[in-house]
Amino acid sequence: MFIFFGVSKGAAGGITMNNKIKEYLNQNKSLTFNSLLFSYIDEGGYKDAEIYKRAGIDRKLFSKIRCYNNYIPKKNTVIKLCLSLSLDKNRFNNLLSSAGYSLSKNNNFDLVISYCIENDIYDINIINDYLYTYAGVIL
């Protein structure tokens, strides 16, 4: 089998793997962090300023997230954005995952965040109290 200019030809000369790969990519690729974040903001009927203020992040950073489709903020920033949107566990994990992050079961910080999401605690001040008490850090 030879690959020439992105086209794969089998022994019979027909295009084989190239179409399968394209089909696989189309079926399995999820939304980017940027697209998913702003779809959640729109679905919730929020204004951008409301979200970045509630998350406690700088307007310039939020603008960078909006303007650069491939920009991925730090994990803490993504968590704050999830909290500011009051996302349920599934949506929280989807947005976190779209940025390449996850919550682990062996880290007190991540466990406190999981606990808060599972118990509908979205107030960053309360969460920071829990984080400081049980993980020694804050968002």
Report the candidate in 139, 34, 44, 131 with the shortest Cα–Cα distance to residue 86. 44
Query: Rounded to an integer, what distance in angstroms lies between the CA atom of residue 20 and that of residue 86?
Result: 39
What is the mean predicted confidence (pLDDT) over 51-64? 97
Report CA torsion sign: 62, 95, 130, 86. Answer: positive
Q: What is the pLDDT of residue 56?
A: 96
Distance, CA of 32 to CA of 73 (rounded, Å): 12
Residue 17 pLDDT grade (very low, low, confident, very high; cuts 50, 70, 90): confident
Q: Which of 16-20, 21-25, 26-30, 119-123 is predicted most confidently?
A: 119-123
Helix (H, G, I), strand (E, B) or coil at 118: helix
- Is a pLDDT exceeding 90 seen at residue 131? yes
Q: What is the pLDDT of residue 109?
A: 98
pLDDT at 6: 54
- Average pLDDT for residues 79-101, to the nearest whole number? 97
Higher-scoring residue by pLDDT: 71, 23:
71
Q: What is the predicted pLDDT for the residue at 133?
A: 98
Instruction: Give percent of the chain above pLDDT 70.
Output: 88
**Which amino acid appears at position 80 of this protein?**
K
Cα separation, 87 vs 93, whole angstroms:
9
